[in-house]
Amino acid sequence: MAEYLSPGVYVEEFDSGSVPMEGVSTSTVGFIGVAQKGPTEGLPLLITSFADFQRYYGSYLSQNAFGEYRYLAYAVDHFFLNGGSRCYVMRVAPGDAKPSANDQTVLHFTAKNPGVWGDQIRVAVAPASKAKTQILAIEGEASQEGEAASASRSYRVKSTAGFEVDDVVVFSDGEQKQYRKVVKAQDSILELDQPLEGGDAVIDANLLPQKVLRTCELEVNVLCGDEVETYENCSLNGASANHITKILSRSNLVLVEDHSSEAGQEEVVSPFALIAGDKKDAASYTIALSGGSDGSVSSLSPADFMGEDRGPGKRTGIQAYIDNDVVSIMAVPGVTDANVQLALVAHCENLKSRFAILDIPRDKTKVADVNTHRDIFDSQYAALYNPWLQVFDPLEKRSIFIPPSGSMAGIYARSDQSRGVQKAPANEVVRGCTGLDCQYNNGEQDILNPRGVNLIRAFSGQGIRVWGARTTSSNGLWKYINVRRLFIFVEESIKAGTNWVVFEPNDEMLWARVNRTIEAFLTRIWRDGALMGSSASEAFFVNIGRSTMTQDDIDNGRLICEIGIAPVKPAEFVIFRITQKTNEE
Q: Which residues in 347-432 belong to E strands, given as ranges?
A: 355-359, 382-386, 389-393, 398-402
Determine which of 10-24, 111-125, 353-367, 424-438 has the lowest per-residue pLDDT on average.
10-24
Report how far residue 61's alpha carbon sits from residue 34's, in angstroms, rounded to the nearest whole number.
9
**So what's the pLDDT on residue 518?**
95
- What is the CB neighbour count within 10 angstroms for residue 534? 7
**So what's the pLDDT on residue 151?**
63
pLDDT, tens digit, 9 for 90 and up, residues 21-78: 889 999 999 999 999 999 999 999 999 999 999 999 999 999 888 888 999 999 999 9
Distances (CA, A) of 150 to 169, 181, 267, 434: 19, 18, 21, 84
**So what's the pLDDT on residue 141?**
47
**So what's the pLDDT on residue 267?**
82
pLDDT above 80 for 145: no
pLDDT above 70 for 494: yes
- Which helix or strand (DSSP H or E) is residue 178 part of? strand 177-186
Beta strand 29-34 with 87-92 is parallel
Report how far residue 459's alpha carbon sits from residue 142's, in angstroms, rounded to the nearest whole number.
101
**So what's the pLDDT on residue 261?**
80
pLDDT above 50 for 144: no
pLDDT band at 584 (very low <50, low <70, confident <90, very high): low
pLDDT band at 439 (very low <50, low <70, confident <90, very high): very high
**So what's the pLDDT on residue 140?**
67
pLDDT band at 574 (very low <50, low <70, confident <90, very high): confident
- What is the CB neighbour count within 10 angstroms for residue 130? 19
Report how far residue 470's alpha carbon sits from residue 384's, in angstroms, rounded to the nearest whole number.
8
pLDDT, tens digit, 9 for 90 and up, residues 421-431: 999 999 999 99
129, 310, 127: which is closest to 215 by C-alpha? 129
**Burial class of residue 206, CB neighbours in 10 A (0-12, 13-18, 19+):** exposed
Mean pLDDT of all residues in 199-220: 89
Question: How is residue 25 annotated by DSSP?
Answer: P
pLDDT, tens digit, 9 for 90 and up, residues 533-572: 999 999 999 999 999 999 999 999 999 999 999 999 988 7
Report how far residue 124's alpha carbon sits from residue 524's, in angstroms, rounded to the nearest whole number.
58
Rg of the chain over all Cα atoms, to the nearest angstrom = 34
Peptide bond into 387 cis (omega under 30): yes
% residues pLDDT > 90 (the chain): 73
pLDDT, tens digit, 9 for 90 and up, residues 179-189: 999 999 888 89
pLDDT, tens digit, 9 for 90 and up, residues 369-415: 999 999 999 999 999 999 999 999 999 999 999 999 999 999 999 99
Beta strand 463-467 with 453-459 is antiparallel
Report how far residue 524's alpha carbon sits from residue 522's, in angstroms, rounded to the nearest whole number.
5
Q: Does domain 29-95+296-483 have CATH number 3.40.640.10?
A: no
Report how far residue 475's alpha carbon sits from residue 250's, in angstroms, rounded to the nearest whole number.
50
Residue 74's Cα: distance from chain center in Å? 18
72-81 vs 405-418: helix axis angle to the nearest 10? 20
Alpha-helix runs per DSSP H in 126-185: 147-150
**Burial class of residue 411, CB neighbours in 10 A (0-12, 13-18, 19+):** buried
Threshold 0.85, pTM exceeds: yes
- What is the CB neighbour count within 10 angstroms for residue 26? 22
18, 47, 51, 13: which is closest to 33 by C-alpha? 47
> Structural domain boundaries of the chain?
29-95+296-483, 107-128+217-288, 132-215, 503-585
pLDDT band at 503 (very low <50, low <70, confident <90, very high): very high
**So what's the pLDDT on residue 149?**
43
At 117, is the secondary structure helix, strand, or coil?
A: helix
Distances (CA, A) of 207 to 174, 190, 204, 219: 16, 20, 9, 28
Query: So what's the architecture of 132-215 in CATH?
Result: Beta Barrel (2.40)
Mean pLDDT of all residues in 267-286: 86
Using an 8 Å Cβ cutoff, are 202 and 196 in contact?
yes
Query: How does the average pLDDT of the chain come out, rounded?
Result: 91
**So what's the pLDDT on residue 209?**
87
**So what's the pLDDT on residue 47?**
97
Mean pLDDT of all residues in 247-257: 93
pLDDT above 80 for 264: no
Residue, of 152 and 467, whose pLDDT is higher: 467
% residues pLDDT > 70 (the chain): 97
- Which helix or strand (DSSP H or E) is residue 509 part of? helix 508-527
**So what's the pLDDT on residue 445?**
95
Question: How is residue 2 annotated by DSSP?
Answer: -
pLDDT above 90 for 265: no
Q: Which residues in 10-153 belong to E strands, given as ranges?
A: 29-34, 45-47, 87-92, 107-111, 122-128, 132-133, 135-138
pLDDT above 70 for 146: no
Q: Which residues in 261-365 belong to E strands, given as ranges?
A: 285-288, 329-331, 355-359
